[in-house]
Amino acid sequence: MTEPSELQLSEAPPGGLTRQGSLWGDAWRELRRKPRFVISAAIILVVLLMAVVPSLFTSVDPNFADLDHSRALPSGDAWFGYDLQGRNLFARTVYGTRASLIVGVTSALLTVLIGSVIGIVAGYYGKWLDSLLSRFGDIFAGMPFVLGAIVILTTLNAPTSNPSQTRIIVQVVLSIAVLSWPVAMRIMRSATLVAKQLDYVKAARGLGASPFRIIFRHLLPNTLAPVMVYATIAVGAFIGAEATLAFLGIGLRPPVVSWGVMISDSSNYVRTVPHMLLFPAAFVTITVLAFVMLGDAVRDALDPKSR
Partner 1 sequence: MGRYILRRFLQLIPVFFGTTFIIYTLVWAIPTDPFAGKCGQRPCPASYIEVMRAKFNLGDPLIVQYFKYLGRLLTGDFGETFAGLSVGKLISTAYPVTVRLALIAVLIEAVIGIGAGVLTGLRNKGFLDNLVLVSTLFLISLPVFVTGFVLQIVLGVQWHLISPTVSRAATFGELIVPGFVLGSLSMAYVARLTRTSIAENRHADFVRTAIAKGQPTKRVVGIHLLRNSVIPVLTLLGTDLGALMGGAIVTEGVFNINGIGGQIFRGIQDKEGVLVTGIVTLLVLVYLLASLLVDLLYAVLDPRIRYD
Partner 2 sequence: MSESVYDGATGTFVSPQAREAAEAEPLLEIADLRVEFRTRDGVANVLNGVSYRVSVGETLAVLGESGSGKSVTAQAVMGILDTPPAFVTGGEVRFHGENLLAADADRRMAVRGDGIAMIFQDALSALNPVFTVGFQIEEQLRVRRGMTRADARKRAVELLDLVRIPGAARRIREYPHQFSGGMRQRAMIAMSLALDPEVLIADEPTTALDVTVQAQIMDLLAEIQRERDMGLILITHDLGVVADVADRIAVMYAGRIVEEADVYSLFRSPGHPYTAALLESLPRLDLKGQELRTIKGLPPSLTDIPPGCPFHPRCAMAADVCATTVPEFRHLGDGRASACHFAGEMQSRG
Over the window 123 to 162, marking each residue x when it contacts partner 1 by CB under 8 A and - when it does not, the resulting string is ------------xx-xxx-xxxxxxx-xxx-xxx-xx---
Q: Would you say 14 or 142 has its CB closer to partner 2?
A: 14
208 binds, among partner 2, partner 1, none (CB under 5 to 8 A by kind): none
Q: Would you say 6 or 199 has its CB closer to partner 2?
A: 6
Task: Write the CA distances from 4 to 1, 13, 15, 183, 261, integer angstroms.
Answer: 9, 15, 19, 48, 71
CB-CB neighbours of 130 under 10 Å: 18
Tell me the C-alpha distance between 19 and 165, whole Å: 53
Is-contact 221 22, C-beta < 8 A?
no
Is-contact 92 262, C-beta < 8 A?
yes
Task: Write the CA distances from 67 to 71, 83, 88, 227, 263, integer angstroms.
Answer: 9, 9, 11, 48, 19
Instruction: Give Cα 248 to chain centroid, integer Å.
Output: 21
Q: Would you say 102 or 209 has its CB closer to partner 1?
A: 102
Q: Would you say 58 or 175 has its CB closer to partner 1?
A: 175
Question: Using CB under 8 A, which residues numbered 7 to 26 contact partner 2?
Answer: 7-17, 19
Q: Does 61 bind partner 1 (CB under 8 A)?
A: no
Backbone angles phi, psi at 82, to 5 degrees: -120, 155
Q: Would you say 60 or 243 has its CB closer to partner 1?
A: 243
Could you list the residues that contact partner 1 (CB under 8 A)? 135-136, 138-140, 142-148, 150-152, 154-156, 158-159, 236, 240, 243-244, 247-248, 263, 267, 270-271, 274, 277, 281, 284-286, 288-289, 292-293, 296, 305
Could you list the residues that contact partner 2 (CB under 8 A)? 1-17, 19, 307
